[in-house]
Structure 1
Amino acid sequence: MKRPYLLVTLTFSVLPAIASAQSELRVEVPSVVLAGVPFTITVQPVTAEGGVVIGYDRQLSVTGLSGGSFDGLSIARAVVSTTGRHTVRVQDGTLSAEVEVRAIPAFFSILPPLIAITFALVFRQVIVSLIAGIWLAATFIADYNVVAGFLDVLTKYVINAVTTTSQAQILVFSLLFGGMVGVITKNGGARGIADVVTRFAKGAKGGQLSVMVMALVMFFDDYANVLVRGNLMRPITDKLRISREKLSFLVDTGAASVASTAIVSTWIGYELGLIAPGLELIGSSEDAFSMFIRTIPYRFYPLLALIFAFMISATDRDFGPMLKAEKRARHEGKVQRDGAEPATETLEDEEDATRPSSWLNGLAPIVSILVVALSGIYITGVRGLGGASGATLKDIVGASDSYVALLWASLSGCTVAIVLAVGRRVLTVSQAFAAWIQGLKSMVMAVVILVLAWCIGAATTELQAASYLVQVLEGALDPAWLPVLTFVIASAMAFATGSSWATMAIMMPLVIPLSDALSRSAGLGAERVDTLLVGVISSVLAGAVFGDHCSPISDTTILSSMASAADHIDHVRTQLPYALVVAFVGMLVGDIPTAYGLSPWISLVLGSGILLAVLFFYGKPVGTPRRQGEAA
């Protein structure tokens, strides 16, 4: 009887040794951590062959940290208090593992985006600024090795950015959409759409409203919106005695405000490309396109600016320097002030003016994009759910692959535009593809900025900049004030740099994780956390447009002056009061109260009412010219 007992005893005594020989602890830590800032350590018991150990329930302990203890197989708030290299040892009584943790000063994590912002302000070179920020971040991560950091900019960050499937889809969509715009600009389609709208330009009010309606019709691209409307409407508004300052204001306001909020435009690929990585970073399963749609009613500045421009056009009332300019044009016949220096007298569009225009050449590709995009969202959504039986529209949209749908849509738009141009003998095959290539080229700068934005976002994420900002702001800032604060910062940055896209690229990777972490650390419920996240994303997009509108060095502001043949400083000086009023109202009734739960639709109604009141109580009617109908 003793031998079986001895056998059982020996068997159980060697089991730990066998387990120890056949398994190990795999410890995962960030590539670099911040001194004094919590980070996460994850432990995974694996077999010698690399498989996961099933049923592991041993008690883990850790040494080498200044703070943190295990909750299951992870430490959510591990801390090392000093910079340098630290050896962290994890053990369970039988197995043990060591890993090295390298800590850098916490404030280093925000230096890369700050350097990018500073360089953009000083040198006004967006690409150089972003590369400098990425290089600095990569150098910190590469143990302060400047050469290794520089090489990692390309081999690690750029390559990862362009080889990620969803991001590659966004790049291709953006290029294809630019190609379509190039074709419909060359084939007379853009001018054909504009010709239809201008037929309703009767009198000063009609002329101004025509400029704004045309902005809605040409929603697909802000540059085309500016160039076509300004050049086409200038002779008409001159005849109607509408000042060049007013024309440039209407042209500028309608361009980015429409393109940035349209569900299909040259902007959406870029915006989705910035939103998607942020959502992935915070562990959100929501599709970037769905989030984009939800942000639209929260974008108070572009929406209220558009509404305000329509109000001004319909009432023919103005205030401030714009009122003076309009009275001069209307009563003295001077569409520009004496001594004004127009940005240009003529601005040739890419389209050959002698080529016949056709609204069909412009409208058909746009309609095809909308139809295919919506159909693609439905098809991919049904496919994602495994069938549409019992599914709601919200379920289908949530399960859709918007990137694939937009790819299909942009390809269809290009195809329809080229087929119409060649089939109707407006362009030859070689001319059509030359126009398409020219359109692709127009998007190259945007694509480069987008790729670099992904890179600096990945680098600042690896440096855990959001964790540092949360630690600094936790308890010092009510999360409800984050949307309006984000709007102010984004506005200031866009104004100083003149680039709305650069502003979005630098701000978005920081504020999405910051909003999520700050809201959760404050103990807010899931609904409030989501509301603030939507508000913060909207504030980046809206603030970028506002700052861009006000900036004298913005490309769209300059293009608006050129296309309208207005004095550039006069354009900025007369537009600024209107933009400031709209921004203030948007913050007052939009960004602040919606963060506490007010519906954005109520905010838009309140904001519109306040702007109308400002126009009637502070503004004055311009009046009719003394000799109605006389050309300027």
Structure 2
Amino acid sequence: MDVNLPAFLPLVLTLVLALIFRHTLLALGAGILAGAMVYTQLQPQQTLEYLLDIASRQLYRDGQWQSWHLDVLAAMVLLGVMTQLFARGGAVTAFGDWLYTRIRTRRQARLGVILLGWLVFIDGIFSCLAVGHVCQPLSERYQIRREQLAYFVDSNASPLCALLPFSSWGPYLIALLAGISFLPVSPLSAFVELGQMNFYAVLTIAVSLYVAWQGFGFGRELPQAPLSAAVSKGNPWLLLLPMLTLLVASVGLTLWSGANNAQAPGVMAWLAAADIGAAMRNAALLAVTVCLLMMRATGRSLRELLADLVHGTRSMGLAIGILLCTWMIGSVIKDLKIAGMLAHLAEIYLNPSLLVAGMFLLCALMAFATGSSWGTFAIMIPIGAEIASQVAPELLLPALSAVLAGSVFGDHCSPISDTSVLSATSSGCEPRAHVLTQLPFALTVAASSLVGFQMLNAGFGKLGSWSLAIISCIVLVGGLQWWMSRRAEG
């Protein structure tokens, strides 16, 4: 495969603009336009036609509606509406009053955000949307910075999904693993084995817990008003019942759709056949309906409820625009075959003694550049398996684990990743601010993970590799905490 260097220019432009300027839409738009011009070789008419084509095919393609994209957009709007209903209808205030007697500190509030992320494990995007929106009022009540909230949301979404076979990621990855004919174990066993060596995902979750406990890393803490002992008792059910509806319905509808579509019995077969997008949309619709009924029962007028619906829909406009542009630039990157060129270069130049660590870095670069962990999985799992089988067959599973970990790391840091964008927007902060404040933690964990993967490559085994990765992580996070604390004091 020939390497087309000009094809990388739109990607570099997008990343530079996204990191330098505050306007994510501007950066994405510039990258899309530049990519279209490169793809059509600077032909104005063809460039316009191409732009219209990639825009339309995000919603309608090959004679059918793109149900996944439409369902995600619908769920975003519905969750935005539910958030506004909570805020404007008094549910947030009532829930906050109830929490006064239970969550008394910011530490408890931070840990509560992470716990909710663990409960909403079914899908990474769904977790980013639901946890960010629901915990915004909690973060405001306890004066948690929005960038810190976005970090907790993002760090307990994709990394968790990459470890759980019963999340929406599990069936997708298992299907990719099943395509490797020389896999030494069953696809499900391989997935579990890869999770046991996924240093980045496990350490990211662990570090987020430590950061929540210590509360460092996002500048000086905002001043918090003392909690009043005379606060009213509060009614948690205006918020809890719609949230429980959302959680239970998302799991139940996912399993129901899978059971109806699956060709074989069992939860894994159901998850593989489930329509996650439709389940996400319907769960959000059911939760909004419950919320509307409860608000109406408290005396809120129909006119007020209609205003809440309009306000909630409008509040999601920027997030929807960014997400649509993220999908469009993903199409441009795919058409320019950037990921394939990166994989081709790795196959030529990758040193066998750096196979596992090299796979981690390569997939991190590819996922960062494309903003897609799933796209990197699809390309690099079969390619990584082929490379490992030729270079060092005994390192096949460690190399595949490095593919998973690197893909999650790159996606975690990318300013054009949908999970990065949704974590930020659902938490009420700018994507650029979220990426920049999350980056020190992600790089620290990545460096520790790199140590673990290199030890696997050197034959230290899982126990020895984990020991060194954990020690490295403790040292690096300790140093990062000291540096950030000194910086905050200064």
Is 2:58 the partner of 1:161? yes
Find the counterpart in structure 2 of residue 457 from structure 1. 330
Percent identity of the aligned residues?
Answer: 14
Aligned runs of 1:529-544 on 2, under 5 Å? 530-544=400-414
Contact 1:483-1:535 at 8 Å conserved across structures: no
For residue 90 of structure 2, the aligned residue among 163, 169, 188 is: 188
The correspondence for 2:361, drawn from 485, 496, 505, is 485
1:114-133 residue pairs with structure 2 within 5 A? Answer: 114-133=12-31
Tell whether 2:384 aligns with 1:519.
Answer: yes
In structure 2, how many angstroms separate the alpha carbons of the residues matched to 1:273 and 1:158? 26
Partner of 1:406: 280
Q: 1:357 to 1:438 in 2, by over 3 A?
A: farther
What secondary structure, in the 3-state scheme, does the structure 2 residue paired with 1:161 have?
coil
Larger Rg: 1
CA distance in 1, matches of 2:34, 2:445: 39
Distance 1:136 1:258, change over 3 A: closer
Output aligned runs, 1:289-438, within 5 Å.
Answer: 298-300=200-202, 302-312=204-214, 358-386=235-263, 391-425=265-299, 427-438=300-311
Partner SS for 2:34 = helix
Q: Give how far 1:537 is off.
A: 3.0
Q: Contact conserved, 1:178 with 1:439, CA < 8 A, in 2?
A: yes
Q: Partners of 1:303 and 1:603 in 2: how far apart?
A: 15
Higher helix share: 2
Q: 1:299 aligns to what SS in structure 2?
A: helix
Q: 1:385 to 1:511 in 2, by over 3 A?
A: closer
The reply to whether residue 135 of structure 1 matches residue 33 of structure 2 is yes
Please state which structure has a larger fraction of its residues in strand.
Answer: 1
Corresponding letter in the other structure for 1:173? A
Change (3 A) 1:464 1:133: same
Q: What CA deviation, in whole Å up to 9, does each residue of 1:15-36 have, x standing for no partner?
A: xxxxxxxxxxxxxxxxxxxxx5
Whether 2:10 is the aligned partner of 1:112: answer yes
Give the superposition deviation at 1:534: 2.4
Against the structure 1 CA distance between its residues 199 and 609, is the aligned structure 2 distance closer, same or farther, given a 3 Å change threshold? Answer: farther
Q: Distance in 2 between matches of 1:114 and 1:276?
A: 33
| Partner Cα separation in structure 2 for residue 321 and residue 446 of structure 1 | 23
Per the alignment, residue 132 of structure 2 pairs with 222
- What displacement does 1:356 show? 10
CA distance in 1, matches of 2:401, 2:253: 28
SS of residue matched to 1:358: coil
Paired with 2:173 and 2:476, the residues of 1 have a C-alpha distance of: 39
TM-score normalised by the chain length of structure 1: 0.54
Contact persistence 1:136–1:149 (CA under 8 A): no
Go from structure 1 to structure 2 and tell me whether the alpha carbon gap of 1:450 and 1:483 turns closer, same or farther (over 3 Å shift).
farther
| Structure 1 unaligned blocks of 5 or more | 1-35, 38-104, 235-246, 264-271, 327-334, 337-344, 347-353, 492-502, 548-553, 561-567, 623-632
Query: What SS does the aligned partner of 2:156 have?
Result: coil
Rounded Cα–Cα distance in structure 2 between residues aligned with 1:429 and 1:321: 41
Residues 161 and 167 of structure 1 are in contact (CA less than 8 Å); yes or no, is this contact kept in structure 2?
yes
Which of 140, 153, 164 is the equivalent residue of 1:258?
153
Alpha-carbon distance in 2 for matches of 1:252, 1:604? 31
Preserved contact between residue 515 and residue 532 of structure 1 (Cα < 8 Å): no
TM-score by length of 2: 0.68
2:142 matched to which residue of 1? 233
TM-superposed CA distance for 1:409, in Å, is 0.6
Task: Tell me if the contact between 1:450 and 1:505 (Cα under 8 Å) persists in the aligned partners.
Answer: no
RMSD (Å) for aligned C-alpha atoms? 5.2
Contact in 2 for aligned 1:307/1:608 (Cα 8 Å): no
- Aligned partner letter, 1:519: G
Aligned equivalent of 1:587: 447
In 2, Cα distance between the equivalents of 1:505 and 1:408? Answer: 29
User: Offset at 1:367?
Assistant: 0.7
Could you tell me how far apart the structure 1 residues matched to 2:331 and 2:176 are? 9
Q: What is the match of residue 63 of structure 2? A: none
Q: 1:556 to 1:455 in 2, by over 3 A?
A: closer
Please state how far the C-alpha of 1:410 moved relative to its aligned partner.
0.9
Higher relative contact order (CA 8 A, sep 6+): 2
* Number of corresponding residues: 423
Paired position in structure 1 for 2:349: 476
Q: How many angstroms apart in 2 are the aligned matches of 1:138 and 1:579?
A: 29
CA drift of 1:419 comes to 1.0
The aligned counterpart of 1:85 is none
Counterparts of 1:274 and 1:452, CA distance in 2: 23
Amino acid at match of 2:35: A
Residue deviations 1:299-326, cap 9 Å, x none?
A: 356523331134426xxxx8x998xx79
Cα distance between partner residues in 2 of 1:538 and 1:444 = 27
- Residue segments in structure 2 that go unaligned for 5+ positions in a row: 61-65, 118-129, 159-166, 181-186, 226-230, 418-423, 486-490
User: What is the 5 A alignment of 1:546-585?
Assistant: 580=440, 583-585=443-445
Q: Is the contact made by 2:80 and 2:312 (CA closer than 8 Å) also made in structure 1? A: yes
Partner Cα distance (1:283, 1:174) in 2: 33
